[in-house]
């Protein structure tokens, strides 16, 4: 039996329409868009301009010129944060505000910027990972040069109130950056309405090719480039443009906008069926992230007293990811769940389900069956399960606290 793919937060397959759109740029229309002396270069430039407009329409940008193509969202995040910070090098006591559950592309960049004497301030969150807007605003002062808060979390699916954040940022004249990688194609985003100044995009998270992304840069926002050489992309990102990838990103953006309403409703129904089935048939489980303000295709579940990695192996017919990450010889629990104060032993018991276009109701029912059998088999072998049933505290958490 072919594996059921439920890891769409990690990556998505290239859509057939996207691949078809890319083929000319990979074969006959192979020119360099910077070559202005012949038809091959002109054709490539036309394709790049068309894709730029497609991406701009997805996020309701005022002008296609506000789209800067990058190698992916990680580079876009780096350009947004480092670009703003380096443009403010004349300021003393600079600080930026973010969340402890951001993608590592933001958090690791923030750590790097700390070495350049930029203070990183983390806004408080509620237990679901939603930013505390009052605390966010209190952390802003005259030296705040950037707010960077994701639109949606890739692990727990929680949606942030980006419009409210944008209003606060605009009120204090602080640029607002959002990593919108997980939200695009699943939630409507309007950079003008939401007062977003910088927005990171990735193609491969919305059925486009890997190795291509973009950064929306509102006109008037000053960035210092992190890559030099040639002055491409409005002097913000040098390097020969990846035309096939850009065409694929543009087509993926067009499809995402076209299908957003219908696909979001379909995925929400499947996600709810999965959640209801798990809660009905498996006891001692918990849902991580906001119960309603979350991505329509996301479900993050803690199966108490079952190692997430072991459950993945028990359900090898399904492609899933765990709430844990392997680092060298040790198993580290999810930094997202740890930031939300989920006890380690429960963080290790979490799985992330990322639904997508290929998933059906039949898939959901198969996965529920597999999970029920896998959890039952693993709990029968778990000493923690026996301890919990006997009323023993584990990490200070009682079994009853996590009984559905």
Active site positions, annotated: 326
Asked if residues 137 and 168 have their Cβ atoms less than 8 Å apart, the reply is yes
Helix (H, G, I), strand (E, B) or coil at 3: coil
Q: What are phi and psi of 330, to 5 degrees?
A: -115, 155
Ranges of H-type helices in 172-292: 232-235, 243-281
Burial group, residue 219, by CB count within 10 angstroms (0-12, 13-18, 19+) = exposed
Give me the residues paired with residue 333 across strands. Answer: 324
Asked if residues 211 and 254 have their Cβ atoms less than 8 Å apart, the reply is no
- CB-CB neighbours of 230 under 10 Å: 12
The DSSP code sequence of 285-310 is EEEES-SSSB-TTEEEEEETTS-HHH
Query: How many helices, marked H, and strands, marked E, lie in the chain?
Result: 13, 15
């Amino acid at each position: 039996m072919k594996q059921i793919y439920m890891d769409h937060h990690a990556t998505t397959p290239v859509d057939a329409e996207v691949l078809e759109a890319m083929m000319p740029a990979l074969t006959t229309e192979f020119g360099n868009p910077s070559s202005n002396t012949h038809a091959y270069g002109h054709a490539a430039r036309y394709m790049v301009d068309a894709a730029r407009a497609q991406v701009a329409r997805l996020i309701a940008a005022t002008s296609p010129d506000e789209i800067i193509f990058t190698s992916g969202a990680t580079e876009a995040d780096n350009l947004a944060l480092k670009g703003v910070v380096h443009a403010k090098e004349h300021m003393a006591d600079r600080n930026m505000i973010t969340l402890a559950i951001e993608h590592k592309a933001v958090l690791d960049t923030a750590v790097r910027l700390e070495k350049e004497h930029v203070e990183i301030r983390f806004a408080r969150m509620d237990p679901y990972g939603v930013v505390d807007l009052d605390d966010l605003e209190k952390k802003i002062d005259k030296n705040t040069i950037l707010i960077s808060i994701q639109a949606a979390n890739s692990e727990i699916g929680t949606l942030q109130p980006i419009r409210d954040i944008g209003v606060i940022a605009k009120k204090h004249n602080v640029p607002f950056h959002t990593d919108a990688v997980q939200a695009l194609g699943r939630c409507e985003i309007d950079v003008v309405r939401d007062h977003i100044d910088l927005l990171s995009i990735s193609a491969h998270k919305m059925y486009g090719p890997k190795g291509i992304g973009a950064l929306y840069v509102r006109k008037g926002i000053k960035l210092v480039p992190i890559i030099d050489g040639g002055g491409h992309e409005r002097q913000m990102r040098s390097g020969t443009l990846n035309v096939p990838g850009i065409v694929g990103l543009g087509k993926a953006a067009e499809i995402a906008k076209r299908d957003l309403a219908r696909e979001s409703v379909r995925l929400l129904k499947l996600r709810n069926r999965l959640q209801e089935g798990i809660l009905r048939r498996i006891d001692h489980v918990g849902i991580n992230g906001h119960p309603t303000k979350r991505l329509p295709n996301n479900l993050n579940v803690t199966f108490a007293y079952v190692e997430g990695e072991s459950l993945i192996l028990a359900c090898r017919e399904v492609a899933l990811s765990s709430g844990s990450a392997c680092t060298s010889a040790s198993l580290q629990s999810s930094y997202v769940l740890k930031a939300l104060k989920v006890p380690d032993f429960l963080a290790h018991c979490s799985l992330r389900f990322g639904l997508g276009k290929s998933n059906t109701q039949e898939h959901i029912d198969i996965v529920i069956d597999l999970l029920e059998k896998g959890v039952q088999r693993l709990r029968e072998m778990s000493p923690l399960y026996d301890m919990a049933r006997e009323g023993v505290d584990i990490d200070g958490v009682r079994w009853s606290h996590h009984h559905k």
